[in-house]
Amino acid sequence: MNFGNGKYQALQKIYAEQIAPATVIDMVEQSGLRGRGGAGFPTGKKWRFLASAKGNQKFVVCNGDEGDPGAFMDRAIMEQFPHTILEAMCIAGYAVGAHQGVIYVRAEYPDAVKNLQTAIDQARADGILGKNFDVDLRLGAGAYVCGEETALMNSVMGERGEPHARPPYPTEAGLYGMPTMINNVETLANIPNIILNGPENFPNTKIFAVSGAVQKCGLVEVPIGTTIRDLVENYCGGAKAGHTIKAVQIGGPSGGCIPASLFDTPLDYESLKQVGAILGSGGLIVLDETTCMVDFAKFFVKFSASESCGKCTPCRVGTKKLEAILDKITSGKGTADDLTQIKTLSQQIINTSLCGLGQSSPNPILSALHHFSAEFEAHLHGICPAGVCFQGYTITDKCVGCGLCAKKCPVGAIRGELKSRHYIDPSVCIKCGQCAKSCPVHAITGGKHE
Amino acid sequence: MKVTINNHVYEFNKPQTILTACAAVGIQIPTLCYEKSIGAIASCRVCVVKVVGRHGLVTACNTLITDGMQIITNDAEVTATRKTILELLLSDHRMQCTSCARADDCRLKRFATQYGADKNTYQPSRPLPPICKDQKHIVRDNAKCIRCGRCVRVCHGQQAVGVLGTLGRGFDGEIGCAFGDGLATTKCISCGQCVAHCPTGALVENSNLPLLMEKLSDPDVHCVIATAPSVRVSMGEGFGLPSGTNVQGKMVAALRRAGFDRVFDLDFGADLTIMQEGAELLERLKTGKNLPQFTSCCPGWVNYVEQCHPELLANLSTAKSPMGMFGAIVKTYYAKKMGINPKKIFTVMLMPCIAKCDEITRDDIRDVDMVLTARTAIRFLKQQGINLAAMPDEEYDNPLSLSSGAGLIFGTSGGVCEAAMRNIKDQLPRSIKGIVVSGIANAEKLIQQIQNGKAHYDFIEVMACQGGCVNGGGQPGDTSLIQDNLGNAKKRAATIKSMAKYNSLHKSSDNPAIQQLYAEFLGSPESELAQKLLHTRFHDRSKK
């Protein structure tokens, strides 16, 4: 093996100091590293499961199917540090007794694919890969659900990317029926550090992909336990000028939103769960007052509905119906019964879906409904506080019933008795804005992003 | 080890699922996607139960019980959740329960009624997809499909044909064939197992009952029906009798009351097939050509060979199936004997099979005018107001009904091989090796072994459906709560075997009606007339 100039130092250390596979697993376990893909399963424990599994062949799989909207941590690692991933996989293979690794990358990351392949070729040329351990690249064809580990394995084997029920767990019967371990890109990227600097010096950081209504968007690596406020205000510069941040969405389509009042929540697995979100893969979207929480929840439900593989009923049909109910609310036709139905149906989807995608798909809507119920209620009365929904105009209760707007309306969309509150029929309204201009008491709000 | 199921203690020592354990204590859990022989798919989620200490609800069909587990099968939450799942499935369902061919044994309808599931709880999310009728025998209606995946599982697994699959993703995905083409463009063998497994009316066989009614009502038309060996042990299931009940006499009476002029036993045709096929095997053993000889009475298997293994065409027995032979004899020998113009005879076959519907479109099987599957026949009799279960026992008509026990066992896997051996055992030039397989996946494995030189046989019986015609694609599905088509078929097979045991005619050549047919009409199995009427040719359709 030709380790060259300073490459693969952790692997070199293992060979040089003849660290036993069991010790490597101990080190990973002691570091407290937990899966960065979303579920937060202790990595050392997973390695131990695979090491003790019986099988002629074992597989180490790197899950690079990063698909959460607003998440791009793994992409950066794969594009910029492909050798770190390979090194970690070699270490994992050594520790658990596997000789074959597979990196599953989504094809939408062409640069990551290219760089990983180049790194694999280089490592093979240097004799690091190909003897005791080899790594193959497999490309995803665009399905979000293939980030779920059982669906991912199906996809690698050329089958339809559909999850199946566990048990059997991948560490018992995974790829081609052999014991298999699936680690996320960021999880693996931490491994060489742990080996090189010792588990006690592991800084336990997490990369967040911050986007949305902040001064500075991008990747931020902070210690786990940093508060949301610290991240948003100090690392990312706080709100954009003239705006107020009202929430962050964390954990993608499986996560939830956290209102500004809870910004002192530390970013760790347990605390976030308590407030109805998850650490997830690390996508963090900052929202200010221009975002409608109902509309935002609808975006995620729509995402889950369209990315559902369609195997089980609650996820396939349930999310579609949730989307339809939210559509109804954001078009001004919602009723109080709809909110009740959302809650019941969401809980049933959580309780009965086959895989994690389905089980967590109602989280964004439930957390929005929990923390921002006033916004949902307002929609039932034809008001979108953020001015996003209805894409038209709403008469608020400031209305004095003068009837001027109804006279000005060119299409007769406004009705109401004199001296009482008037209403706009959204199905007739052409959103010209004449009513708002004519209102003497400024009771009419609306127009998208006014 | 023990578990509690709703406060009831259940002791167990063998690994089993919650579903099985609950059934053992008499608690029925609804299932849509579960069928025992294809295993748990766990896609419908209607069988959810609560397990104390577990997050969410768990599916009973694929969760094993463990010592100390506390299972709650029917509290308010579980009941409400099952109802929601049924309502989600109904929301985009083509609700045609009054005209649906599967209305009587539709599992979705049954549970929806039990749980009071309302189609209108959720608004439909898409226009109903069109009905696919491109294939003549199997009609697919994706607006009734609940995406349970059983058809896909059986088509890929037991049948190894793999023409059905899931297309697309999520709500907009659907069950279909590659590239969204119709079944007719694929190598579908029309075995109908997908139909037999469908828990709703999304897959049904095509039937033309109005035509049958027209013929039955026409005084100028002489309507004859012959019943296949395996339907006499399944037809009763449509009328509430336990599976495997022998309803031969009742079935004859019912069909007679439905207006058929003659009701015949197709076992006679089976005896005839054995006469021809046995003679053919003896000839091949003598010359050593085209061995091993494969049986060809199963049209699903013939379709598979023609489409996927054209190199085996010469190995198929050229003897027509019992149905094909029977059709030919009805329109020649029988017509002549009775003095009826063959053109005025309408021949109907009551079959356990959908591939038989396909077989009558073959060039030389056109003597048969219509095939009724057992399922369609049940529907037909109900429509006629005839309760088969309440019928007296009646005898078949002569002259084409007398049959041997060998003819009867054609209805179950192994029957054709045994019938042939009974007939020609004493005339074999040497000891020969035979084998029996059922299910195309098993047949394919055998073909691979033979072609790799790992196995050698002289005579091979293949039936496309596992267990043979007793488990045919046209048979009524098992309506028990834990659906088990194969278990049902085993009960039917057991009845057939015990019926055959009591038949004093052991082998086909003992059958006096067969002897009479050869003496009066055909001459010998080798005669020109027998060869012309009772044999067929196969075609390479692999380039379809």
Query: Residue A340 half-sphere exposure, CB side, CA atoms within 13 Å?
Result: 4
Say which range, A389-393, B330-334, B495-499, B527-531, has the weakest mean pLDDT: A389-393
Sort out which chain A residues have CB atoms less than 8 A from B62's CB and list them. 165
Closest among B22, B354, A252 to B12, alpha carbons compared: B22
Interface test with B, best of A148, A306, A311, A329 (most B CBs within 10 A): A311
Do B171 and A305 lie within an 8 Å CB cutoff? yes
Do A313 and B59 lie within an 8 Å CB cutoff? no
Which band of pLDDT confidence, cut at 50, 70 and 90, is reported for residue A4?
low
B501 burial class (0-12, 13-18, 19+ CB within 10 angstroms)? exposed
pLDDT of A448: 47
pLDDT of A391: 65
Distance CA B4, CA B480 (A): 24
Mean per-residue pLDDT for A303-317? 95
Do B43 and A359 lie within an 8 Å CB cutoff? no
Tell me which long-range contacts A217-224 makes (C-beta under 8 A, separation of at least 24). Answer: A219/A72, A219/A73, A219/A76, A222/A267, A224/A267, A224/A268, A224/A269, A224/A279
Is the Cβ–Cβ distance between B299 and B437 less than 8 Å?
no
Do A313 and B43 lie within an 8 Å CB cutoff? yes
Q: What share of chain B has pLDDT > 70, as a percent? A: 100
- pLDDT score of A449 more than 60: no
B455 touches chain A (CB under 8 A): no
Sort out which chain A residues have CB atoms less than 8 A from B123's CB and list them. 321, 324
Question: What is the pTM (predicted TM-score) of this model?
Answer: 0.90
Mean per-residue pLDDT for A94-116? 96
Cα nearest neighbour of B83 on chain A: A348
**H or E segment at A60?**
strand A59-64
Do A313 and B173 lie within an 8 Å CB cutoff? no
Distance CA A282, CA A274 (A): 17
**Distance between first and last Cα of chain B:** 57
Mean per-residue pLDDT for A115-143? 94
Which band of pLDDT confidence, cut at 50, 70 and 90, is reported for residue B365?
confident
One DSSP character per residue, B222-273 reads: EEEEEE-GGGGGTGGGGGTPPTT---HHHHHHHHHHTT-SEEEETHHHHHHH
Closest among B218, B204, B12 to B103, alpha carbons compared: B204
Closest CA of chain A from B108, distance in Å: 13
Do B56 and A350 lie within an 8 Å CB cutoff? yes
Q: What share of chain B has pLDDT > 90, as a percent? A: 94
Backbone angles phi, psi at A267, to 5 degrees: -80, 85
Sort out which chain A residues have CB atoms less than 8 A from B47's CB and list them. none
Task: Point out which residues pair with A361 in neighbouring strands.
Answer: none
Mean per-residue pLDDT for A352-376? 94
Distance CA B132, CA B179 (A): 14
Say which range, A394-408, B221-235, B302-316, B323-337, has the weakest mean pLDDT: A394-408
A312 → closest Cβ in B45, B77, B122 = B45
- pLDDT score of B13 more than 60: yes
Which band of pLDDT confidence, cut at 50, 70 and 90, is reported for residue B311?
very high
Do B40 and A165 lie within an 8 Å CB cutoff? yes
Q: Where are the alpha helices (DSSP H) in B263-321?
A: 267-287, 299-308
Interface test with A, best of B169, B174, B175, B200 (most A CBs within 10 A): B169
Q: Give the type of residue at B231.
A: V
Do A321 and B45 lie within an 8 Å CB cutoff? no
Residue pointed to by tokens 């489409």: B307
A321 → closest Cβ in B44, B122, B149 = B122
B169 touches chain A (CB under 8 A): yes
Do B84 and A311 lie within an 8 Å CB cutoff? no
Is the Cβ–Cβ distance between B140 and B94 less than 8 Å?
no
Sort out which chain A residues have CB atoms less than 8 A from B169's CB and list them. 143, 145, 306-310
Complex-level ipTM: 0.91
3-state secondary structure of B336: helix
Query: Residue A142 half-sphere exposure, CB side, CA atoms within 13 Å?
Result: 4
Mean per-residue pLDDT for A442-447? 80
pLDDT of A5: 65
Q: What share of chain A has pLDDT > 70, as a percent? A: 98
Which band of pLDDT confidence, cut at 50, 70 and 90, is reported for residue B364?
confident
- Mean pLDDT over all residues of chain A? 92
Cα nearest neighbour of A161 on chain B: B169
Closest CA of chain B from A412, distance in Å: 30
Do A351 and B57 lie within an 8 Å CB cutoff? yes
Interface test with A, best of B19, B33, B43, B44 (most A CBs within 10 A): B43
Do B48 and A351 lie within an 8 Å CB cutoff? yes
Under 8 Å CB pairs connecting chains A and B tally to: 99
Sort out which chain A residues have CB atoms less than 8 A from B145's CB and list them. none
- pLDDT score of A425 more than 90: no
Closest among B256, B214, B254, B208 to B370, alpha carbons compared: B208
- pLDDT score of B481 more than 50: yes
Contacts of A360 (CB under 8 A, 6+ apart): A253, A254, A255, A278, A350
Q: What angle do CA B95, B99, B101 make, to 5 degrees?
A: 100
- pLDDT score of B544 more than 70: no
B390 touches chain A (CB under 8 A): no
Interface test with A, best of B34, B92, B122 (most A CBs within 10 A): B122
Cα nearest neighbour of A142 on chain B: B169
Task: Point out which residues pair with A208 in neighbouring strands.
Answer: A220
Sort out which chain A residues have CB atoms less than 8 A from B122's CB and list them. 317, 321, 324
Do B171 and A308 lie within an 8 Å CB cutoff? yes
B305 touches chain A (CB under 8 A): no
- pLDDT score of A7 more than 90: no
**H or E segment at A233?**
none
pLDDT of A118: 96
Q: Which residues on chain A place their C-beta less than 8 Å from a C-beta of chain B?
A: 143, 145, 160, 162, 164-165, 305-314, 316-321, 324, 344-345, 348, 350-354, 359
Do B88 and A318 lie within an 8 Å CB cutoff? yes
pLDDT of A450: 38
List, for residues B147-202, the tens digit of each pLDDT value: 999 999 999 999 999 999 999 999 999 999 999 888 989 999 999 999 999 999 99
Which band of pLDDT confidence, cut at 50, 70 and 90, is reported for residue A447?
low
pLDDT of A165: 85
List, for residues B58-97, the tens digit of each pLDDT value: 999 999 999 999 999 989 999 999 999 999 999 999 999 9
Q: Give the type of residue at A122.
A: Q
Say which range, A261-265, A330-334, B418-422, has the weakest mean pLDDT: A330-334
Cα nearest neighbour of A306 on chain B: B170
Mean per-residue pLDDT for A136-156? 93
pLDDT of B40: 93
List, for residues B398-417, the tens digit of each pLDDT value: 889 999 999 999 999 999 99
